[in-house]
Amino acid sequence: MVADEGTPLSPLEQEIFSWQYDVSGFGLEGQLRLKQATVMISRCGGLGGIVAYQLAAAGIGRMLLAHAGSIRPSDLNRQLLMTRDGIGTSRMDSIVRRLQDLNPDLEVIPVAENVSPSNADRLVSQVDVVVDAAPLFEERHAMNQAAVRFNKPMVECAMYELEGHLTVLLPGQTPCLHCLYPEPPASWQRRFPVFGAVSGTLGCMAAMEVIKLISGLGKPLAGELLSFELGDPSFRRFRIRRNETCRVCGHLAETCD
Ligand SMILES: [Zn+2]
């Protein structure tokens, strides 16, 4: 497909993304929506880093990326935006460099801190879609509260060993994170066993949900939780429901399904 004259996509961009144009239901209009969108990703490690890399490849226009700290050797089995020669240096510097090597047209808003109650509103309010790939439940809840407050879709993903879990949270239409987990699950661990291929699988699926939310392609994974297990590979989907008395999103009860 050839873009019309006057499109904000350069001839090189048109060529780079030409294979996507031909996906049914996407087209140039979908590509332009990606270019005009801003996506926030909380933590760009094994999971969020893959989301960011796929979205940079797909032509998202702006990304607000939150991730603190320096690269450690133990990051490198899964955090593909980090490199061995960067051990001990800023993760965010590496993240920005690697994304812009792939897509120099990408505008990155780097935030070298993790999401917290003190910055969540300021960060979430600036973006169109939020991706939650944080390892701490406190970060997840802070982002969930801000996403509900500012009515932003949140792609929620988590992993453990060979398992991945994914859903799209739409304020007022689906459960929020607090509906699902008022308290952190008993099994939740800050450090957990995982392969990069598992976080990468989940990251690619989460990136696809972002692309769908922004472009209107397909049907978002909303109101259902997709869980996969790659040991004896299986993918299953579970219906999930709102808690109408949820202290975070219960006030949106008039739109309960
Ligand atoms: Zn809720």
Could you give phi then psi for residue 101, rounded to 5 degrees? -60, -40
Helix (H, G, I), strand (E, B) or coil at 70: strand
Round to whole Å and give the CA distance between 2 and 256: 43
Q: Is residue 249 part of a domain?
A: no
Mean pLDDT of the chain: 93
pLDDT for the residue numbered 188: 67
CA atoms within a 13 Å half-sphere pointing along the CA-CB vector of 62: 10
Of residues 189 and 59, more confidence is placed in 59
CA distance 43 to 29: 29
pLDDT tens readout for residues 123-134: 999 999 999 999
Beta-carbon neighbours within 5 Å of ion ligand 1: 176, 178-179, 246, 248-249
**pLDDT (mean) for 5-33:** 89
DSSP labels for 194-231?
A: B-HHHHHHHHHHHHHHHHHHHH--S---BSEEEEEETT
Distance 23 CA to ligand 1 centre (A): 35
Distance CA 47, CA 249 (A): 26
Confidence band (pLDDT; 50, 70, 90) for 1? very low
CA atoms of 163 and 149, how far apart (whole Å) = 30
Question: 249: CA distance to ligand 1 center in Å?
Answer: 4
Kindly give the distance from the C-alpha atom of residue 13 to the centroid of ligand 1, in angstroms, as a whole number: 40
Q: Residue 149 domain-assigned?
A: yes
98, 79 contact by CB (below 8 A): no
Q: 223: which 2 tokens?
A: 């109101």
Ligand 1 centroid distance, CA of 166 (Å): 17
Q: Is 154 helix (H, G, I), strand (E, B) or coil?
A: strand
Q: How many angstroms separate the alpha carbon of residue 186 from the centre of ligand 1?
A: 19
Q: Determine the distance separating the centroid of ligand 1 and the alpha carbon of 39, expressed in angstroms.
A: 22
The mean pLDDT of 14-43, rounded to a whole number, is 95
What is the Å distance from ligand 1's center to 187 Cα?
21
pLDDT computed for residue 254 by the predictor = 56
The answer to whether residue 116 is domain-embedded is: yes
Residue 255 placed within a domain: no
CA 38 to chain centre: 11
In whole angstroms, how large is the CA radius of gyration of the chain? Answer: 18
At residue 2, the pLDDT reads 44
d(CA 100, CA 94): 10
Report whether pLDDT(59) > 70: yes
- Asked if the model's pLDDT at residue 6 lies above 70, the reply is no
pLDDT of residue 8: 83
Ligand 1 center–CA 252 separation, angstroms = 9
144 alpha carbon to ligand 1 midpoint, in Å? Answer: 9
**Mind listing the pLDDT tens digit for each residue in 147-170?**
999 999 999 999 999 999 999 999
pLDDT of residue 194: 87
Using the predicted structure, report yes or no on whether residue 11 has a pLDDT greater than 50: yes
The answer to whether the pTM exceeds 0.85 is yes
CATH (domain of 110): 3.40.50.720
List the structure tokens of 43.
């933590």
Given a cut of 70, whether residue 5 has pLDDT beyond it is no
Q: Given a cut of 90, is residue 256 above it in pLDDT?
A: no
155 Cα: distance to centroid of ligand 1 (angstroms): 15
Chain segment 91-120, per-residue pLDDT in tens = 999 999 999 999 999 999 999 899 999 999
Of 161, 156, 139, 130, give the one whose Cα is nearest residue 223: 156
Structural domain total, the chain: 1
Domain that residue 144 falls in: 11-158+186-221
β-strand partners of 166: 157, 226
> 48 burial class (0-12, 13-18, 19+ CB within 10 angstroms)?
buried
Domain assignment present for 246:
no
CA of 27 to the centre of ligand 1 (A): 35
Does 203 fall in a domain? yes
Within a domain: 174: no
Q: How far is the CA of 178 from the centre of ligand 1 (A)?
A: 5
In a domain, 92, yes or no: yes
Whether the per-residue pLDDT at 7 is higher than 70: the answer is no
Indicate if the alpha-carbon torsion angle 7, 129, 47, 79 is positive or negative: positive
pLDDT, tens digit, 9 for 90 and up, residues 181-234: 998 777 666 777 889 999 999 999 999 999 999 999 999 999 999 999 999 999
